[in-house]
Amino acid sequence: MSLTLVVIDDDELDRHALRRALTQTGRDFAIEECDSGEAGLERIRSMRAQGRRVDCLLLDFSLPGQNGLEVLSRLREQDIDVPTVMLTGFGDEELAVESMRRGADDYLPKAKLDPLILASKIDAARRIFDARQRTIAAETELRDLVEQLRRAVAARDSVLAVVSHDLRRPLNNIQLALGLIEQDATPRQRDLAVGSVRRAVDRANQLIGDLLEISRLDGEIELDRQPLDPLALAQAVVTDLEPVLARSDASLRIEHGDALDKIFADHHRVRQVLDNLLDNAISHSPKDGTIVLSLRNVSGAVEFSVRDQGPGIEPVVREHVFDRFWRGEGRPKGAGGVGLGLAIAKGFTEAHGGEIGVECPEDGGSRFWFRIPAPAPTPGQRGDTAGESASDFEGEEAAS
């Protein structure tokens, strides 16, 4: 197998001696010669850009301008790692040791330029380099594994906390209500108790659903992408929220620009992101507050935003609201969440290649927004996709 060697040496005679020794090894070497550190760096860069391998670098230590160690550092700075043999002059043993400490794989005093020794140095440098690469890969894998385990333990702890704390509340309510039903309760008391059981079961169900969604976020989220009409989606979500809005003090309206782009997205996931943002806006809205759900095209994406007139979010905690299990202090009465809604919204948005954020306008309240990319259809698809999407979407909505 032919090996490609790069030789960096300013001395023409030394390069000649090196070439001759390499030929005398009887091995098949392709040699790239450079007479300065700068030229050598440039050659290695361009070889890599062309996808060519550098099997070994033979690097003269005493180059004018920058010495061999500096050339090595420059390579490392550019994230270039190649098997390297440092060529040292007479009496440079200390420098040789220093070179190996700083990343050379082996060294060879020029005085010992014997073909056999030279070939064995090249082979040794390549072996050491391979071992180094394997160690780096193993270290990276280990670090990733430790990080995964750390996250798994943290997630397990959080789930335990939720199960032991938040899931207990609906169970307690069920127990109390059953106690009431078992006693000689009046029909009205019984109705109240049944209502309480029903709400508790809903709450427990929602909690379990959220915990399942969150655990799915740790793996690859499989999206069922379909062409979607963002406005029809928003209108469907708002229609479903009407009973909740009727019980709350808030009102909700949709605002949108003309001709919104179609998005190619997972209907249920985008819907859940919207649901979670609107759920928060409703529970933080003041009496008679207005919530505005706006839609607009923004540079290759459709932006959905939910603006409320609630208390807003302090700048210092804004970066935490999307963390799992993060809940603000002093939540309004009835807002008994566990702090997963926004984490789920972030996970689903990012799974679509989108972005999510929050800002608090000066005149109060908060504005949560997320953007779902609207890929430009290819010319052949344009008519079909647009036609299909509208009818598919309407069909889906009618069915759900």
Ligand X SMILES: Nc1ncnc2c1ncn2[C@@H]1O[C@H](COP(=O)(O)OP(=O)(O)OP(=O)(O)O)[C@@H](O)[C@H]1O
Binding site for ligand X (CB under 6 A): 210, 276, 280-281, 284, 308, 310-311, 313, 321, 326-328, 331, 337-343, 366
Residue nearest to ligand X (CB): 337
Name the residue whose CB lies closest to Mg ion: 341
280 lines the binding site for Mg ion (CB under 5 A): yes
Considering CB distances under 5 to 8 angstroms, the limit depending on partner class, which of ligand X, Mg ion, none binds residue 326?
A: ligand X
Smallest gap from residue 207 Cβ to ligand X (A):
8
Max Cα–Cα distance, the chain, nearest Å: 109
* Shortest separation between residue 268's beta carbon and ligand X, angstroms: 17
In the bound state with ligand X, the residue whose beta carbon lies nearer, of 107 and 322, is 322
* DSSP run (H or E) holding 355: strand 355-359
- We find the least distance from the C-beta atom of residue 82 to ligand X, in angstroms, to be 49
Cross-strand bridge partners of residue 30: 4
Which secondary structure element, helix H or strand E, spans residue 358, and what is its range?
A: strand 355-359
Specify the residue, 337 or 365, whose C-beta has the smaller distance to Mg ion: 337
Q: With beta carbons less than 8 A apart as the criterion, state whether 3 and 122 touch.
A: yes
CA-angle at 231, arms to 225 and 232, nearest 5°? 75
Q: Which two tokens stand for residue 226?
A: 């379909």
Q: Burial code of 30-58, b = ≥16 C-beta within 10 A, e = fewer?
A: eebbbbbbeebbebbeebeeeeeebbbbb
Judged by beta carbon, residue 131 or residue 171, the one nearer ligand X is 171
Whichever of 41 and 321 has its CB closer to ligand X, that residue is 321
> Any residues with CB less than 8 A from the CB of 318 and at least 6 apart, and which?
358, 360
Cβ at position 368, least distance to ligand X in Å: 6
Would you say 31 or 155 has its CB closer to ligand X? 155
How far does Cα 154 stand from its chain's mean position?
18
| Cβ–Cβ under 8 Å, residues 327 and 338 | yes
- 278 backbone dihedrals φ, ψ, rounded to 5°: -70, -35
- CB closer to Mg ion out of 114 and 275: 275
Taking CB within 5 to 8 Å according to partner kind, which of ligand X, Mg ion, none is near residue 213? none
Kindly tell me the burial class for residue 138, based on how many C-beta atoms sit within 10 Å of its own C-beta (0-12, 13-18, 19 or more): exposed
Which 318-377 residues touch Mg ion, going by CB under 5 A? 337, 341
Q: Which of Mg ion, ligand X, none does 284 bind, CB closer than 5 to 8 A by kind?
A: ligand X
Binding mask 284-323 for Mg ion (x = CB under 5 A): ----------------------------------------
Residue count, binding to Mg ion (CB under 5 A): 3
Count of beta carbons in the 10 Å neighbourhood of residue 293: 22
- In the complex with ligand X, the residue whose CB is nearer, 81 or 359, is 359
Please give the Cα distance from 266 to 351 (Å, whole number).
10
Q: Which partner from the list Mg ion, ligand X, none does 328 bind, CB cut-off 5 to 8 Å by kind?
A: ligand X
Residues within the interface to Mg ion (CB under 5 A): 280, 337, 341
